Structure 1
Amino acid sequence: MNSKLENLWEEVRELSLGTTPQIDRLHTPPTPLQFLRDYLSQNKPFILSASAATTLQWPATTLWTSTSYLLNALSSSTVSLHLTPTGQADSLTAHPSNPDSLCFASAHVQRAPFSDAIDAIKASRKNNSGARFVAYAQQQNDCFREEYTALAGDCDSHISWATEAIGGLPEAVNLWIGNELSETSFHKDHYENLYAVVTGEKHFLLLPPTDVHRMYIREYPAAQYVYSEETEEFRLEVEDPVRYVPWCSVNPFGFSNEKEKEKSKFPLFYNGPDPFQVTVKAGEILYLPSMWFHHVRQSPDNRGLTIAVNYWYDMRFDIKYAYFNFLQSLTCCKPRSHNSDSFIIENVSDGDEIIENNEQD
């Protein structure tokens, strides 16, 4: 049964993506029909290059390179700022009461005047002298239209060819402002995502939904960072009552001296096809299909900032969603218990269970 499933994953991946190690790069915007036929319906990503991307027509591409402009435009705005000790929010870290196990940690979120938020992002440090935090404006939840309304005229309110193909306006538009210290761990979203970089660069690792078996999704107790401005220190608080979050266990950029240990823990990830590596430069748009796993890092502009806007369109809960859930139910690495490091891979053909140990260090 397992070999047959592996063949199915390989065939689906080849049919939808081909055998090339790179995703498509378009030099002219797709028509709504082309987007629907060649990418949306096939759940296939692409990059719209800077030579043709609609972002080049936005006032933002020139105005937002000036910090003074942003400060003046948002002088009366209060925004949500996310603080972590390492730059990794919504990611796995050592459990505060049991360092041998992991928890899912969310950022400390505080409201701040926009000018203070920019100062905090520029002052971000990671375990160095000075302020010991990494700040990232990454509120999501339609934050561009909720918190940054003064900038609304600097960007298109939607991506026209995507809106026509999908048949509706984006459910949320988000603004992201950070620097090279902020990193987003592997995860997936239930949205069709049009991700436009305005300044700096974003570096994505992408894996299709059919590779869910390689992500070692397990349930981890939810926790949240709490930051003290007086001591400039964080504490990590586990939610009470305990809530468990399913999350990808693989960190593709873990410590180099632990690489062999990571390979032994997650052989399906490291022994399978490499993730697609995609750099989205200023003025370019990435179409990131729904349910695709993605890991994100970034490089700043000459001011030390990376700014991007993304459009979340509702995905269709069709056969693709049912197919993904079916695969996950067959192959997902499941925790044997909430406080155990072993997991179970079920063989649905005969009901056998294979138990593998995966000790955390």
Structure 2
Amino acid sequence: MEVENLAEQLCLEVRELSLGTSGEIERICGAPTSLRFLRDFVLPNKPCIITGAIDHWPALTSWTNSYLRASLWNQRVSVHSTPNGLADAVVDVDQLHCTTHLTSNGSLARGNESFSVQEEGYPVRGLCCPLDGQKSTTIDMHEARNTHILSAHGCEGDKGPCKFCAPGQRIYLIDPLQEKNLHYISKQEGHDDVMLLECNCRDLKSSSLDIHLKGQKKLSKDAVEIHDEESSLMTGLPIDTAHGLCRKEGSQQQAFFATAYVEHVPFPEALDMILHSSIGSGVAYAQEQNSCFLTEYSALSADADTHIPWATEAFGCLPEAVNLWIGNEKAVTSFHKDHYENLYAVIAGEKHFTLLPPTDIHRLYIKEYPCAHYEKCEGKFVIEQEKPVKFIPWASVDPYPPAELLSEARFKFPKYFNGPKPFTCTLQAGEILYLPSLWFHHVRQSPDLEGRTIALNFWYDMQFDIKYAYHNFLESLIVKL
């Protein structure tokens, strides 16, 4: 508790001494001198917005959709896709109950969209739960290879039991009957196959559980073993029986960290994917963090500077990477930090930034999450857990949860929602944001009249100096809380 209090004090003190308490970011008209930029912003690790510094870029007026199609008509580019617009993101299992459920034929549904299911681990032969008022619903996942079965435990008053494999691949077993559910685990003798059967209490009154698995096998009531929330389900990865999550030993994590499905397609096709993105069927984002502006998009390099002269002089080096980003309002970037000094320039549309200084790390509830990634199978998104299993520390906070989940988010993350104002800004076309190294940032976007948001960012190497050492020390303290 003492460390938490000291962290709160540090959070307030840095605002009083340097950053201000209004949550506003200072604006500069015109390109600053390298000396002013270094003295007033880089050394104090303080963000700013620069207007009028890139008005000479042809990209601001020439990058229409037709121009981009013509310039890149035969160029293959990297497209990162997810079913929900959340790439490199963590989704809390409790935040998904109201948006997704399993359909009676075993596919994942949200609205009118469906997904397939795939995880790493044990093959699943069948999974059953009460759904939409039915006593049982058979979900045949026989074709899902390397699937890991995760138990859920529901009780009266819960929103419903759930089965979860990773962020974005939201697999929920909604129980509209709101009665206590029991979960049955069965392992076929001599096999690693695991069956999870979830039935309403009333089903126990029948002589057998009327559940048919692939091959028309019926599992009788006497053939199953009942496990409560205190039970250990199976060997292998530890299982959180309360929420059905693969988790690190001793951890209470209830979510996964997932990266996007990446494909390389001709630019005109990539642009169409972006313009027709929709939650459920897929949200596309053209980007690759390997200086793609100078590689995949080199045909456009004459339309914008490949470095920011006054920043290059201040940092004493050219940027390590220049990245191009093309997306729409459905693509959202979760809270994270970069080990770069970042100059972020908007070409079309708007970017909406929510920023926290490195001293606010305790407010983001950094936890370690199991890693996973999206794949596509027969045109549908599936998600695979990384193998061997590995974990990554990531921020748990979504600063803009759906309205129906806001009160829950405030309860779970009081340090964020009840703390000092985050720094926020909207960056319009022709403006640059200086985003200092190690600052946490969450990014949303609004498209222009042509339906896209375009930005260039310049990553300059940060100095791994005493500030970096202090931040690592603070982070190590916070993680141990």
TM-score (norm 2): 0.66
- Superposition pairs of residues 206-285 of structure 1, within 5 angstroms: 206-228=355-377, 230=378, 232-285=379-432
Q: Is the 8 A contact 1:79 1:114 kept in 2?
A: yes
Q: CA deviation at 1:43?
A: 0.4
Partner of 1:83: 81
Partner of 1:14: 16
**Partner amino acid, structure 1, of 2:91:** T
Q: Is the 8 A contact 2:342 2:460 kept in 1?
A: yes
Deviations 1:195-244 (CA, angstroms, capped at 9, x unpaired): 0000000000000000001011110010001123x4x3211110111010
- Structure 2 distance, partners of 1:268, 1:151, is 44
Q: 1:115 aligned to 2:268?
A: yes
- Structure 2 distance, partners of 1:28, 1:146, is 29
Residues matched between the structures, number: 324
Partner of 2:277: 124
Give ranges in structure 2 of 5+ residues lacking alignment: 94-118, 120-149, 151-162, 165-242, 244-253
**Partner amino acid, structure 2, of 1:13:** R
Partner of 1:288: 435
Distance 1:28 1:94, change over 3 A: closer
Q: Is the 8 A contact 1:83 1:109 kept in 2?
A: yes
- Structure 2 distance, partners of 1:9, 1:203, is 23
Partner of 2:68: 70
Q: CA deviation at 1:20?
A: 3.0
- Structure 1 distance, partners of 2:470, 2:25, is 22
Partner of 2:47: 45
Q: Is the 8 A contact 2:86 2:334 kept in 1?
A: yes
Partner of 1:161: 310
Q: 1:186 aligned to 2:335?
A: yes
Which secondary structure does the structure 1 equivalent of 2:21 belong to?
Answer: coil
Q: 1:57 aligned to 2:56?
A: yes
Partner of 1:349: none
Which secondary structure does the structure 1 equivalent of 2:306 belong to?
Answer: coil
- Structure 2 distance, partners of 1:301, 1:9, is 36
- Structure 1 distance, partners of 2:442, 2:11, is 21
**Partner amino acid, structure 2, of 1:7:** Q
Equivalent of 1:305 in 448, 452, 463: 452
Question: Which one is further off, 258-267 or 273-282?
Answer: 258-267
**Partner amino acid, structure 2, of 1:147:** E
- Structure 2 distance, partners of 1:94, 1:316, is 34
Partner of 2:259: 106
Q: Is the 8 A contact 2:21 2:421 kept in 1?
A: no
Give ranges in structure 1 of 5+ residues lacking alignment: 335-344, 346-361
Equivalent of 2:288 in 139, 161, 167: 139
Q: Is the 8 A contact 1:204 1:295 kept in 2?
A: yes
Deviations 1:260-285 (CA, angstroms, capped at 9, x unpaired): 22112111111101211110000000
- Structure 2 distance, partners of 1:93, 1:146, is 33
Q: CA deviation at 1:94?
A: 6.2
Which secondary structure does the structure 2 equivalent of 1:222 belong to?
Answer: strand
Q: Is the 8 A contact 1:83 1:227 kept in 2?
A: no
- Structure 1 distance, partners of 2:382, 2:74, is 31
Which secondary structure does the structure 1 equivalent of 2:295 belong to?
Answer: helix
**Partner amino acid, structure 2, of 1:83:** S
Which secondary structure does the structure 2 equivalent of 1:102 belong to?
Answer: coil
Distance 1:5 1:178, change over 3 A: closer
- Structure 1 distance, partners of 2:396, 2:10, is 23
- Structure 1 distance, partners of 2:21, 2:424, is 14
Distance 1:45 1:301, change over 3 A: same
**Partner amino acid, structure 2, of 1:241:** P
Partner of 1:353: none
Which secondary structure does the structure 2 equivalent of 1:57 belong to?
Answer: coil
Q: CA deviation at 1:257?
A: 1.5
- Structure 2 distance, partners of 1:87, 1:224, is 14
Q: 1:314 aligned to 2:461?
A: yes
TM-score (norm 1): 0.87
Q: Is the 8 A contact 2:12 2:420 kept in 1?
A: no
Q: Is the 8 A contact 2:333 2:442 kept in 1?
A: yes
Q: Is the 8 A contact 2:85 2:330 kept in 1?
A: yes
Q: Is the 8 A contact 2:285 2:326 kept in 1?
A: yes
Partner of 1:174: 323
